[in-house]
Chains A and B, each alone.
Chain A
Amino acid sequence: MVFRSLASLVGSREHVEDLAQEVFIRLYRGMQQFRGDSLLTTYLYRIILNVARDEWKRRRPEQFNTSLSEPDAHWDDRLASVERNPEQLFSGQQLGTLLAASLAELSEPERTTIVLFHQEECTYEQIAHLLNLPVGTVRTHLHRGRQKLKKLMQNRMELCQKTFATRN
Chain B
Amino acid sequence: MSEDIRDPQLTCAALQSLLRSGPVVALSREQLAHLTACDACTDVMIQGALAAQTAPVAGPDFTSRVCASLAAEPLPRVPQNRRVSGVLVSLMLLLAMICFASVAFAFSPKGWVPSGMAGLIVAGMLLAEVISLALWLDTHYSAG
Contacts and interface: CB of A to CB of B under 8 A. Distances in A.
Contacts of B42: 150, 153-154
B36 to A, nearest CB: 4
A90 B26 contact: yes
Given A91-B26, A95-B49, A17 B70 contact: no
B139 interface: no
Contact of A17 (B45, B52, B59): B59
Contact of B50 (A13, A91, A114, A150): A114
Nearest to A18: B65
Interface in A79-123: 85-92, 95-96, 99, 114-115, 118-119
B32 interface: yes
Interface of B is mostly: helix
Given A91-B26, A99-B46, A150-B46, A119 B66 contact: no
Interface residues of A, number: 39
A161 interface: yes
A87 B29 contact: yes
B73 A96 contact: no
Contacts of B46: 99, 118, 146, 149-150, 153
A96 to B, nearest CB: 6
Contact of A161 (B23, B36, B65): B36
B69 A3 contact: no
Contacts, number: 107
A54 interface: no
Interface string B52-85: 1111111100100110011001001010000000
Interface stretch (A19-27, A36-44, A132-140): A19-27
Interface of B: 23-29, 32-33, 35-37, 39, 42-43, 45-47, 49-59, 62, 65-66, 69-70, 73, 76, 78, 144
27 contacts: A1-B55, A4-B53, A17-B58, A17-B59, A20-B58, A21-B62, A24-B70, A25-B66, A29-B73, A87-B28, A89-B32, A90-B27, A91-B25, A91-B26, A92-B49, A95-B49, A99-B53, A114-B50, A115-B50, A118-B50, A119-B53, A149-B46, A153-B46, A154-B36, A157-B35, A158-B36, A161-B29
Given A21-B62, A92-B52, A146-B43, 15 more contacts: A8-B50, A17-B56, A20-B58, A21-B65, A32-B78, A87-B29, A91-B26, A92-B24, A96-B52, A118-B46, A150-B46, A154-B37, A161-B29, A161-B33, A161-B36
